[in-house]
């Protein structure tokens, strides 16, 4: 099943339950995190360590850079949601080992989980600094976060397929 269809069906199924939810936006983002985390982490685990330098074209980032980028996006956006600076994870480079990049990725999802646990919809209108230094409501970070997960998983799935590997969401369920 296509990832966008799975997300659409999940949202449609959750919609009646969230109709009376006090924090529908935050609740949907919280419910989205475990599925996206599972797929993204599984995609990174599936890519052989020797392929982290793989680039589909010269203009595209390497798979290692993609993992680093996902980690940075998670910590940046979830830092905005938490209202605090992201945790210091040391200097990461796209050339770091698969194990180091994977550990940082997992840690970034834990940071997001903790940030979302403290979030509620009453804060969605709070002003934050968005990309490019412009002011935006905190809702922007919540939407950007879920968009980021979808976009980055799509990229990781493409890298896997180009290397003859089936992405986690395309694998048959046992």
* 14 confidence band (pLDDT: 50, 70, 90): low
Token pair recorded at residue 131 = 């990309």
> What's the residue count for the chain?
174
CATH of the domain at 95: 1.20.120.450
Residue 129 has pLDDT above 70, yes or no: yes
**Which residue has tokens 């986690």?**
168
Least confident of 20-29, 31-40, 42-51, 96-105: 20-29
* 173 confidence band (pLDDT: 50, 70, 90): confident
Instruction: Give the span between the Cα atoms of 25 and 142, in whole angstroms.
Output: 8
Query: What is residue 153's predicted lDDT score, i.e. its pLDDT?
Result: 98
Domain that holds residue 63: 3-170
Query: What is residue 3's predicted lDDT score, i.e. its pLDDT?
Result: 53
Query: What is residue 51's predicted lDDT score, i.e. its pLDDT?
Result: 98
Least confident of 8-22, 47-61, 96-110, 148-162: 8-22
Token pair recorded at residue 37 = 């985390």
* pTM assigned to the model: 0.86
Instruction: Give the span between the Cα atoms of 21 and 18, in whole angstroms.
Output: 5
Number of domain units in the chain: 1
Residue 90 has pLDDT above 80, yes or no: no
Alpha-helical runs (H) found in 83-137: 98-117
CB atoms under 10 Å from CB of 15, counted, come to: 12
Query: What is residue 15's predicted lDDT score, i.e. its pLDDT?
Result: 56
DSSP 8-state symbol, 172: P
Query: What is residue 108's predicted lDDT score, i.e. its pLDDT?
Result: 96
């Amino acid at each position: 099943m296509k990832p966008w269809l799975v997300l659409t069906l999940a949202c449609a199924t959750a919609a009646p339950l969230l109709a009376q939810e006090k924090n529908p936006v935050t609740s949907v983002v919280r419910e989205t995190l475990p599925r996206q985390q599972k797929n993204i982490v599984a995609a990174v685990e599936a890519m052989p360590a020797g392929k982290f330098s793989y680039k589909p074209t010269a203009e595209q980032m390497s798979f290692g850079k993609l993992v680093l980028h996902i980690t940075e996006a998670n910590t940046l956006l979830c830092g905005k949601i938490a209202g605090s600076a992201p945790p210091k994870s040391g200097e990461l480079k796209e050339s770091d080992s698969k194990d180091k990049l994977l550990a940082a990725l997992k840690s970034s999802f834990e940071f997001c989980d903790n940030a979302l646990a403290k979030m509620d919809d009453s804060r969605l209108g709070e002003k934050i600094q968005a990309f490019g230094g412009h002011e935006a409501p905190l809702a922007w970070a919540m939407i950007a976060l879920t968009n980021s997960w979808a976009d980055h998983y799509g990229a990781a799935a493409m890298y896997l397929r180009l290397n003859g590997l089936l992405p986690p969401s395309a694998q048959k369920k046992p």
